[in-house]
Amino acid sequence: MGDKSVMLAAGGTGGHLFPAFALAEELGRRGVAVDLVTDERGDRYGTGFPARAIHTVPSATLAGRSPAAAVRTVLSLMSGVRAAYALLRRVQPGAVIGFGGYPTFPPLVAAKLRRIPTAIHEANAVLGRANRMLAPRVSRIATSFEQTALLSDKLTTRVRFTGNPVRDAVIDWSARPYRAAGPDEPFNLLVFGGSQGARYFSEAVPPAIAQLTLNQRARLRIVQQCREEDLAEVRNAYAAASVTAELQTFFRDLPERMANAHLVVGRAGASSIAELTVLGRPAVLVPLPHAVDNDQLRNATRLAEAGAAWCLEQKSLTSEKLSETIASLMEQPEVLSAAAHVAKQLGRPDAVLRLADLAEELIGARTTNRA
């Protein structure tokens, strides 16, 4: 099929697949053919993925610590490497780029065996488990943060800071400047946490809001993502507190909602961080606890240390603390404006361009770096 093509390896979660999706769109605009290789879990995203073909190879995540579980994982990954090795012979891409997670392991190992140029992209502020195993074996390592934890100093020469690609809709809405709400103006609060975070926020945010003053509650305009089974309870809680709220299980126009928000309360997944910074919106981040490698805590800490967000750990977060934080920020528009400015400075709207440059560099189509 020729060398003017790139195979992207991603799957398992949207956090891995969405940056790959953005890169595929940009490579398509540049006339570079794209193939996607994923595992069975990636099929649910496959329909709209901008690739000429979507391939599936076996993979596995280490789900337990028993010797039997380890053996099953190794056997599945070996099977995946064999399948990917044969796939690469048929497709003959000019480069293979992985986006983290175990579905990337077989294609990247197979590409190494076939001496095809490779790269991995790390969306978080800490190198994930699969990427840690692959990093010494790939040609380039693309990072979303200027400092990435658990990335060996020995690999510095392979690292390229690109940022984390975001959806086109986020880029479009990033043109809207942030304007903090005045003391007597409506205050737009957006609350979302993905499938793993929505339940916690449904339980934690309404009691915090109920503790605000009457005037603060009157100003609030809440937009919140909730699970279907939590909608009625959350709606009743806000009604009892005399708060205007719009609740949905999913917001298709989330980039627009984020752009309209004066403050966001949410988790600290890599995609959320990338979108918040490109849009330049202040946020109270409550990292998902018990996450592997504490990636969300590291993501949130990076933003908080820079002055772009406030990081509150769930294990010690009370409704009183959350209420005090929201109340304080509602009364300090200048603090929110300053955080929004810092967030915007951290955003990388050109991340997809830099990653596409790297892809073209790997296949020999580009020899100079974007400044």
At residue 98, the 3 state secondary structure works out as strand
Give pLDDT tens digits along the chain (371 positions): 445 899 999 976 767 888 998 999 999 999 999 999 998 765 454 447 899 999 999 876 655 567 877 777 678 888 999 999 999 999 999 999 999 888 899 999 999 999 999 999 999 999 998 999 999 999 999 999 999 999 999 999 999 999 999 988 899 999 999 999 998 999 999 999 876 667 999 999 999 999 999 999 999 999 999 999 999 999 999 999 999 999 999 888 999 999 999 999 999 999 999 999 999 999 999 999 977 678 999 999 999 999 999 999 999 999 999 999 999 999 999 999 999 999 999 999 999 999 999 999 999 966 555 65
pTM of the predicted protein model:
0.86
* Yes or no: domain 171-346 corresponds to CATH 3.30.365.10: no
| Same fold across 5-166+349-362 and 171-346 | yes
Radius of gyration of the chain (CA): 22
298 phi and psi angles, rounded to 5 deg: -65, -40
Residue 72: the pLDDT is: 77
Backbone angle region of 327, left / alpha / beta, with phi > 0 → left and psi within -120 to 50 → alpha: alpha
- Which amino acid, 104? T
Calculate the alpha carbon distances from 149 to 19, 36, 143, 146, 194 in Å. Answer: 20, 28, 11, 10, 24
Residue 63 is predicted with a pLDDT of 58
Domain extents in the chain: 5-166+349-362, 171-346
CB 51 within 8 A of CB 23: no
In eight-state DSSP terms, residue 285 is E
Q: Which residues of 128-149 are buried (b: 16+ CB within 10 A; e: fewer)?
A: bbbbbbbbeebbbbbbbbeebe
Please give the pLDDT value at position 43: 46
Residue 42 has a CB neighbour count (10 Å cut-off) of 25
347 forms beta bridges with none
The answer to whether domain 5-166+349-362 has CATH 3.40.50.2000 is yes
